[in-house]
Amino acid sequence: MIELRNITKKYGTRKALEDITLTLPHGKIIGLVGENGSGKTTLLKLMSGLLTPNAGSAVLDGKPITRKVATNIAYMPDADMFYPYFTVGQLFAFYESQFTDFNPIKAKEIAQFLNLDLNSKLKNLSKGNRGRAKIAATLGREADYYLLDEPFSGLDPMVRDDIAKGLIRFTDPERQTVILSTHELKEVEPLLDEIIVLKGSRLIAHEAVDEIRDTYGQDATSWMVSLFREGK
């Protein structure tokens, strides 16, 4: 379980996150949504141990989150950060050398599912296929948590659909949690168990998708829009 308690993170004098308290259990697919600059990427980096808060605490299974503790958290950044001269297969070999939980057999199975050629160089891949490669490498880890920063950003609908199917097929809902930031809430809503909404560095909602439908009589996208219109 990831627990965030009264987290505040500043960059200089600017607050990227302010007084965030969240509990994120195993076995969920959770959407992280909000306007640009609302703190989504900062929140994912804090949970992955890449950043430390200025105030509050981030805890994984009772232990403070650091890079060492977060070895069983797989973080996928929005930006491409791979060596362009790698082939897809060499990318997997690099991941295997860096992460003890990386499963090359699983990664190759995901690549095959996503129609990726292991011999293709990353620099020669389309943006959609680079997105597929990032997902295959990330899900190739046998992690407890997958933190995905805008995995669908800029990708065409076919690629987004393939990645969404991969998330369902290659994660274990009994023990693994996926937390993904997205601007494509309407498209990914069918995948989600819960939604976290950030606005202006603050947490304004954390709800189960089923509760949104039952309590508010709305789909998640309409509910989120209403939150912002009400100025909460």
* 162-207 pLDDT, tens digit each: 988 999 999 998 889 999 998 878 888 889 999 999 999 999 999 9
Return the amino acid letter for 178. Answer: V
Q: Torsion angle of alpha carbons 41, 42, 43, 45, nearest 10°?
A: 90
Closest CA to 2 of 51, 68, 72, 100: 72
Write down the residue that tokens 């808060």 correspond to.
Answer: 53
Q: How far apart are CA 137 and CA 206, in angstroms?
A: 29
Q: How far apart are CA 212 and CA 185, in angstroms?
A: 14
Structure tokens at 64: 């403070």
What pTM value is reported for the model? Answer: 0.92
- What's the average model confidence in pLDDT over 154-163? 86
Closest CA to 106 of 152, 143, 71: 143
Structure tokens at 54: 């200025």
**Residue 121, domain CATH:** 3.40.50.300
Please check whether residue 91 is in contact with residue 120, taking contact to mean a CB–CB distance below 8 angstroms. Answer: no
The confidence score (pLDDT) of residue 156 equals 86
Between CA 16 and CA 42, with CA 194 as vertex, the angle to 5 degrees is: 15
Q: How confident is the model at residue 231 (pLDDT cuts 50, 70, 90)?
A: low
Residues in the chain: 232
The range of the structural domain enclosing residue 29 comes to: 2-229
Q: How confident is the model at residue 232 (pLDDT cuts 50, 70, 90)?
A: low
State phi, psi for 201 to the nearest 5 degrees.
Answer: 80, 0
Dump pLDDT digits (tens) for 50-94. 999 999 999 998 899 988 877 889 999 988 777 889 999 999 999
Question: What is the enclosing helix (H) or strand (E) of 2?
Answer: strand 2-11
Share of the chain above pLDDT 70, in %: 99
The confidence score (pLDDT) of residue 12 equals 92
Please check whether residue 112 is in contact with residue 151, taking contact to mean a CB–CB distance below 8 angstroms. Answer: no
How many CB atoms are closer than 10 A to CB 35?
Answer: 13
Please check whether residue 212 is in contact with residue 220, taking contact to mean a CB–CB distance below 8 angstroms. Answer: yes
Q: How far apart are CA 127 and CA 163, in angstroms?
A: 13
Q: How far apart are CA 151 and CA 163, in angstroms?
A: 8
Domain count, the chain: 1
